[in-house]
């Protein structure tokens, strides 16, 4: 059994970790920490977990937690996890950080976009960007994993095959992304107040969203050239789900939808968690609701010689906690889908 | 392995059966039938099930289906399943009917409320009302199970302890129930058209809902006296979930919330799928979202000497398909929670 | 023109006042105050009001405000308005208070339920409960109006005809009420965080909600006897709307739905804002969405000799700001529907 | 008074016409027709309109209707209105058609995209595209108005200033549009069934939506060159609202957000129904909920030299019935905002 600790267990990604890990056949949840709910039974805070976890939230006492854990998940706001991750790594523990602190190859990019100094730049440099479908081999032997952001996961998986095959004019990349409200977390904020976002729709952080450099870093590596994208996130009145609509002009003017789909089918042929939709069908967010899948469809438009890719994930699962567990499975040599192979809810 | 057939697999309860059964460790789905989608791959109709079921929908050819199945689930409108159930029973197969046709001890009550003649009254008489927490022993040895309705499940479980203990004046029972829209099924109907029921709330079928006689039948047996209730269903702008608020005057005027809760804790002490909430906390439908639990809380009101019970289920799981699988587990001697022990999604 | 001041203009009831008053043909909005948005243009805080109000929010300087206003609306949390109302009244101004401070005939009831000492008990005694359909004559000559709560409005209007006619056994009254989330106001609270209440449903404050004494005060007067009710509020995943389902046993066992409806038709025959639905149709909250109507339907159930009344309002309009303006119209001798006679949105 | 007839009054755009026209100070609704509800009182079909319209639905008897009307609104599916419009025009009546039949300068484009032969091509040629902010002068003297589609309205208004000023490289135009479900109409369809689209999000008709040629026709005229766009519509789980996110590369590489906003402010300086948001704020669909406004914001992104424009409308008002009434006001020489100058609901 793998002994697991969750630091910051009472946010939405924390509780999704508990949902999956409490049912994972190779895992024992050894400890959960929370600043706001110390000494409260976890199942009293999240009564949906009653019967599945019988722990109380601990104060964040790292030594105590590390002593009983083989791996730590840090589900904390950016900037806050660095200390925890540093300490855990120093003790030789594996760490999967669900925040942004360990996602960047170049710490200066992080510091520029997040306006904060990195406290463990050496460790950040060695950390691996935990997108298994792209970086599986590096993940296997890493100690610290920077678990990808939700938007980036949907976008990078949605574009990887085309970029790898050099199909698109990278300077034309436009990403129009839409997220459910749980992506904003459990912290109180007027923007996520029910009466403000129900029956409402908005764009936000146009051109300046912090997922932009993360997206560009990974797309650039795939394309083997510098990629700069337009990325516009939107807030959708639903709890879960991200749908990214991606526009790109193609080099080749003699292609069609089926040919492009074949590139995807080939690229992802061994991937359990990526499903390519047939021509004429596009993925909907509910196809992946509560599950670890990334569903992708696309359309070639001969009128404009553009491809339009649609990529959907559940922001809290493949976009956060499910992917983190997928990374854990890789780190510990387990079959990658262990504890994660559930279909989405419908309806 | 148990070979399972699902008749009417493309409605909402049908697809919930597929979701759970495709992951059930002792089950092989041997066939799925559908009138509307013959020869279409199931995973093309419900793309969320891709990777979990690799069957096409069959025409309803009973002989063919029965030949390969140990048990049949019929997820059909009331009145339609009688023929299927009759034929299956004649071949000695077990049948779990998710409709209303086999829920009544007295066929005349069925015929009066459903305005239809029963085609297999003898079989109906032998069928068992499949609410495991109440009728587990009869279920074990039955051949045909009438799987309970969604509203009745929440209500009967919510009242059983009080009625068994003779605490309530049965003539004062009032049940105000609220259901998500998936309870109306997948058939098209202006009442379930998005723009008509979103941001809207209504009561319907006041005093004449067909779940009334089913509720009264079971409550009467528990109370060992004739029970007649006021039952008012409401349609709530959400997909899943039922919450029943139950009002009853008490015989005893010298009680309190904790004492009443203890009756529930005792009554359900061995039940995995019933969770009693502590004093001062009432269950919310999301605590059971997508899961097979029934969560119950209550409040004694000394000002009026009434108890108010709140009981929640997921209408498609404990209120339909999850309960049906729980019944199958009992029928086949498996641990009752096999394939069903998942926590609800939150958020 | 009536010069109007709104104290606390940036909550939901405040901005509904602005929506209606900015279009009211006899009103000039002379000043809006807000603690949180001093000196900000109102239309920058609520861009939907751009073109309709060209004021900035003022600090709460009562002397300044009172000098330019004929009437003050106080849209403040309970306990906070007493000082404002007292000062305004001292200067001879009319005040319509949308909070709870001036709704009670007996200040001790207020103090007991709200756990706060009343600062202007004399004024509270003279204040009139501003439900025009019941207290129109007292409202005409009052100085301070305690504008009714949202739940009480729907309930009192839903029961008045029956109580006046002595039809119901008052000790059997049970009120199961459901409200949209905007009823919780604009203040941040985990209970109203989108991801916590979307696709969710719950009961709250069972037996102890502060609207209970207000409901009982008015029902008692109508019934000319002490009335004590069971009142259970629920939170519904929608922005606007209240639906109250009211259960009562009848003295008369020889009646029917039509006869009871006639009592309502007669009672409300001159009321523009109360609409009685025909037999077999019950009101839905969307029928009154954004409007000042209260729609009522009912069903007599001969099986239990109970009447079930369904009463709906928009909690922010007839349940708050619309009713407040209706009161203002009465106070100033205007036709009661001035500035309020708009149909609800559908869909 | 203008005598108005509504043909097809029981769809969503029909009932929005009734909502506004029943309160329009210069209008008398002379007749409403419906195929499905002949002889039923309109207020019994849409109880929200009780007190505002006292007519029953008529069979579609054109002679009878035309005899009592000065202007006809046709709120019918495309292809169906041609006969009505032809007959009305032949009698010299003004007609405002809310469908697609009279929106195209070139009938062949209509026939190609809608796969139907036009029955009144001469009349179609003379009809005016009823977008007042762009074609006010032609509207004044026209007889038949082709009222714009919902998506096109938001997009054309969102791009007109930039195209007129020759700022954008037209071959780079990408439009990612999102609509609430009421845009799909009141007809039953699994895609608009509550449980299928709630908590869900999808793209549809990528590259082939029928609003594409309408958008391109108008953008081409504004740009004085042939424009071909990528247009991707999405279905959002909300009832009302359209938000179009528009991407364009600029010729000028030395600009900023404020400079671009000034072009919009200038272009729309006399328009009541177009509101330009200040730098750093983008419009949300709820800012226009239930109202006839089009709100526009934009952001210049120096990293990619693109402008991103966000344009929102209520699809049923400025995107359909409100705009139709705005056109009627122009046709009859009334102030354009008569009967339409209401702020949106918030929340």
B partners (3+ CB pairs within 8 A) are A, C, D
Q: Are B140 and B147 in contact (CB under 8 A)?
A: no
In angstroms, the separation between the Cα of residue D15 and the nearest Cα of chain B is: 13
pLDDT (average), residues B310-330: 98
What is the per-residue pLDDT for C83?
92
* Integer Cα distance of C134 and C202 in angstroms: 31
pLDDT band at D335 (very low <50, low <70, confident <90, very high): very high
Q: What is the ipTM of this complex?
A: 0.97
Q: Are C130 and C319 in contact (CB under 8 A)?
A: no
State how far the Cα of D76 lies from the Cα of D24, in Å rounded to an integer: 22
Q: Tell me, what's the pLDDT at A1?
A: 95
In the predicted structure, residue C275 carries a pLDDT above the cut 90 = yes
Q: Other C-beta atoms within 10 Å of B347: how many?
A: 24
Query: What does the mean pLDDT of chain B come to?
Result: 97
Across all residues in chain C, what is the average pLDDT? 97
Between CA C163 and CA A136 the distance in angstroms is 72
Enumerate residues 6+ apart whose C-beta is below 8 A from B176. Answer: B232, B234, B244, B245, B246, B247, C176, C232, C245, C247
Q: Least CA distance to D241: which residue of chain B?
A: B195
Q: How far apart are CA C275 and CA C294, in angstroms?
A: 6
The distance from CA A9 to its chain's CA centroid, rounded to whole angstroms, is 17
Pick from B347, B227, B231: nearest CA to B287: B347
Q: How far apart are CA C151 and CA B245, in angstroms?
A: 17
Which B positions 9-48 lie with beta carbon below 8 A of chain D?
12
Tell me the torsion sign for CA atoms C340, C323, C232, C296: negative
* Nearest chain A residue (CA) to C238: A198
Q: How far is C149 from chain D (nearest CA, A)?
A: 18
Q: pLDDT digit string (tens) for A98-124? A: 999 999 999 999 999 999 999 999 999
Token code pair at residue A137 = 């081999």
pLDDT band at C139 (very low <50, low <70, confident <90, very high): very high
Distance CA C39, CA C236 (A): 35
Q: Which residues of C touch B243 (CB under 8 A)?
A: 201-203, 234
Q: Which residues of B touch D47 (CB under 8 A)?
A: none
Confidence of residue C253 (pLDDT cuts 50, 70, 90): confident
**Long-range contacts of residues B296-300, Cβ cutoff 8 Å, at least 24 apart:** B296/B157, B296/B158, B296/B264, B296/B268, B298/B257, B298/B260, B298/B261, B298/B264, B299/B257, B299/C206, B299/C207, B300/B250, B300/B255, B300/B256, B300/B257, B300/B259, B300/B260
Is the CB of D286 inside 8 Å of chain B's CB atoms? no
Is D155:D311 a contact under the CB 8 Å cutoff?
Answer: yes
The residue of chain B with its CA nearest to that of A14 is B346
- The C-alpha atoms of residue D301 and residue A232 are separated, in whole angstroms, by 11
Answer whether A199 touches B (CB < 8 Å): yes
What pLDDT band is residue A252 in, cutting at 50, 70 and 90?
confident
Minimal Cα distance from D193: which residue of B?
B193
Q: CB distance from A268 to chain B under 8 Å?
A: no
Tell which phi-psi region holds residue B185, choosing left (phi > 0), alpha (psi between -120 and 50) or beta. left
Tell me which residue in D181, D182, D194 faces B192 most closely, judged by beta carbons.
D194
CB C247 within 8 A of CB C177: no
Number of C-beta neighbours around residue C169 at 10 A:
12
What is the per-residue burial (b if ≥16 Cβ within 10 Å, else e) of C282-291?
bbbbbbbbbb
Q: What is the CATH number of domain B151-314?
A: 3.30.360.10
Residue C338: C-alpha distances to residues A21, B44, C135, C270, D28 (Å): 61, 57, 19, 16, 20
Banded model confidence at residue B270, pLDDT cuts 50, 70, 90: very high
Which of C239, C309, B309 is CA-nearest to residue D239?
Answer: C239
Backbone angles phi, psi at C97, to 5 degrees: -100, 120
B281: nearest CA in chain C?
A: C204
Residues B181, D194: C-beta atoms closer than 8 Å: yes
**Rounded distance between C-alpha atoms, residue B9 and residue B73, angstroms:** 9
DSSP string, C283-306: --GGGGTTSS-EEEEEEEETTTTE
Average pLDDT, integer, range B132-156? 98
D60 at interface of A, judged by CB pairs closer than 8 A:
no
Task: Please give the structure tokens belonging to residue D260.
Answer: 């671009």
Q: Is residue B60 pLDDT above 90, yes or no?
A: no
Q: What is the pLDDT of residues C307-344, one digit of tens each?
A: 999 999 999 999 999 999 999 999 999 999 999 999 99
Neighbours of B91 (CB within 10 A): 13
CA neighbor of D332 nearest in space, from D7, D4, D91:
D4
**Host H or E run for residue A294:** strand A294-301
| Whole-number Å distance between alpha carbons of A80 and A11 | 14
The percent of residues above 90 in pLDDT, for chain A, comes to 99
Token pair belonging to A53: 């976890």
Cβ(D95)–Cβ(D145) below 8 Å: yes
Task: Find the CB nearest C182 among D44, D287, D347.
Answer: D347
C235 touching A, CB under 8 A? no
- Residue A44 to residue A232: CA distance in whole angstroms: 38
Question: Each residue of D243-262: b (16+ CB within 10 Å) or e?
Answer: bbbbbbbbeeeebebeebbe
**Confidence at residue A253, expressed as pLDDT on a 0 to 100 scale:** 84
Whether the predicted pLDDT of A60 surpasses 90: no
Q: Could you write out the three-class secondary structure of chain B?
A: CEEEEEECCCCHHHHHHHHHHCCCCCEEEEEEECCCCCCCEHHHHCHHHCCCCCCECECCCHHHHHHCCCEEEECCCCCCHHHHHHHHHHCCCEEEECCCCCCCCCHHHHHHHHCCCCCCHHHHHHCEECCHHHHHHHHHCCCEEECCCHHHHHHHHHHHHHHHCCCECHHHCEEEEEECHHHHCCCCCHHHEHHHHCCCCEECCCCCCCHHHHHHHHHHHHHCCCCCCEEEEEECCCCCCEEEEEEEEECCCCCCHHHHHHHHHHHCCCCCCEEECCCCCCCCHHHHCCCCCEEEEEEEECCCCEEEEEEEECCCHHHHHHHHHHHHHHHCCCCCCCCCCCCCCCC
Q: What is the mean pLDDT of residues B334-343?
A: 98
**CB-nearest partner of B277 from A22, A47, A278:** A47
The residue ranges of DSSP E strands in D157-257, in sequence order, are 174-179, 202-203, 230-235, 242-249
The pLDDT assigned to B132 comes to 98
Q: Which residues of A touch C238 (CB under 8 A)?
A: 198
Q: How far is B201 from chain D (nearest CA, A)?
A: 13
Is C57 one of the catalytic residues? no
| Confidence label for D200 from pLDDT (cuts 50, 70 and 90) | very high
The DSSP code sequence of A9-36 is TTSHHHHHHHHHHTT-TTEEEEEEE-SS
Give alpha helix (H) positions in D172-273: 194-197, 211-223, 257-267
Q: How far is CA C29 from the centre of its chain?
A: 21
Peptide bond into C347 cis (omega under 30): yes
Helix, strand or coil for residue A319?
helix
Average pLDDT over chain A, rounded to an integer? 97
Q: Does C289 touch chain B (CB under 8 A)?
A: yes
Spatial neighbors of C221 by CB under 8 A, at least 6 apart, are: none
The continuous run of DSSP H or E covering C5 comes out as: strand C2-7
pLDDT, tens only, D175-199: 999 999 999 999 999 999 999 999 9
Distance of CA C90 to the CA centre of its chain: 25
Interface residue D155 vs chain A (CB under 8 A): no
pLDDT in tens, C186-238: 999 999 999 999 999 999 999 999 999 999 999 999 999 999 999 999 999 99
The token pair at B235 is 């349609």
Tokens standing for residue D73: 């609104």
How is domain C2-126 classified at the CATH fold level?
Answer: Rossmann fold (3.40.50)
- Minimal-distance CA residue of chain D relative to A284: D202
Q: Domain boundaries in chain B?
A: 2-126, 151-314
Q: Is the pLDDT assigned to residue A47 strictly greater than 90?
A: yes
Comparing A13-17, A151-155, B61-65, B292-296, the range with the smallest average pLDDT is B61-65
C345 close contact with B: CB closer than 8 A? no
CA distance D233 to C338: 41
Name the nearest CA neighbour of A168 among A231, A98, A103, A224. A224
State how far the Cα of C273 lies from the Cα of D50, in Å rounded to an integer: 10
CATH class of C151-315: alpha beta
* Cα–Cα distance, C204 to B283 (Å, whole number): 10
Q: How far apart are CA D194 and CA B193, in angstroms?
A: 5
Using DSSP's 3-state secondary structure scheme, residue C276 falls into: strand
Quick check: B230 and C308 CB within 8 A?
Answer: yes
C247 contacts on B by Cβ (under 8 Å) = 174, 176, 230, 232, 247
Q: Would you state the pLDDT for residue A180?
A: 98
| Interchain CB distance below 8 Å, A194 and C193 | yes
Q: Does C255 touch chain B (CB under 8 A)?
A: no
Specify the residue for token string 């939230």. A57
3-state secondary structure of D340: coil
Q: Residue A169's CB: how many other CB atoms inside 10 A?
A: 12
DSSP H helical ranges for chain C: 12-21, 42-45, 62-68, 81-90, 107-114, 121-126, 132-140, 150-164, 194-197, 211-223, 257-267, 322-331
Q: Which pair of tokens denotes residue A111?
A: 């510091």
Chain-chain contact of D181 with B198 (C-beta, under 8 angstroms): yes
* Residue A133 burial (CB count, 10 A): 20
């Amino acid at each position: 059994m793998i002994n697991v600790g969750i630091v910051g267990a009472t946010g939405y990604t924390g509780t999704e970790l508990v949902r999956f890990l409490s049912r994972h056949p190779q895992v024992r949840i050894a400890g959960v920490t929370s600043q706001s709910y110390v000494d409260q039974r976890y199942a009293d805070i999240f009564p949906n977990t009653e019967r599945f976890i019988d722990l109380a939230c601990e104060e964040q006492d790292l030594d105590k937690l590390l002593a009983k854990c083989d791996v730590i998940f840090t589900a904390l706001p950016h900037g806050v996890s660095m200390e925890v991750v540093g300490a855990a790594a120093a003790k030789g523990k594996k760490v999967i950080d669900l925040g942004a602190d360990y996602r960047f190859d170049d710490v200066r990019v992080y510091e520029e976009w997040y306006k904060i100094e990195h406290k463990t730049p050496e460790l950040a440099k060695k950390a691996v960007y935990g997108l298994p479908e792209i970086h599986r081999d590096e993940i296997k032997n890493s100690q610290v994993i920077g678990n990808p952001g939700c938007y980036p996961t949907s976008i990078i998986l949605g574009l990887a095959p085309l970029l790898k095959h050099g199909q698109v004019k990278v300077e034309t990349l436009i990403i129009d992304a839409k997220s459910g409200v749980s992506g904003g977390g459990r912290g109180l904020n007027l923007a996520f107040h029910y009466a403000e976002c129900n029956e409402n729709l908005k764009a936000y952080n146009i051109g300046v969203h912090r997922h932009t450099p993360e997206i560009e870093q990974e797309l650039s590596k795939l394309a083997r050239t510098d990629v700069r994208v337009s990325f516009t996130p939107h807030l959708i009145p639903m709890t879960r789900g991200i749908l990214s609509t991606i526009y790109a002009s193609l080099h080749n003017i003699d292609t069609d939808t089926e040919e492009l789909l074949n590139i995807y089918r080939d690229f992802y042929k061994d991937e359990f968690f990526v499903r390519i939709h047939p021509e004429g069908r596009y993925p909907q967010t509910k196809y992946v609701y509560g599950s670890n899948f990334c569903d992708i469809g696309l359309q070639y438009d001969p009128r404009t010689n553009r491809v339009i890719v649609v990529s959907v994930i559940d922001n809290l699962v493949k976009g956060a906690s499910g992917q983190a567990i997928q990374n854990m499975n890789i780190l510990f040599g387990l079959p990658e889908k262990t504890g994660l192979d559930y279909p989405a809810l419908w309806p």
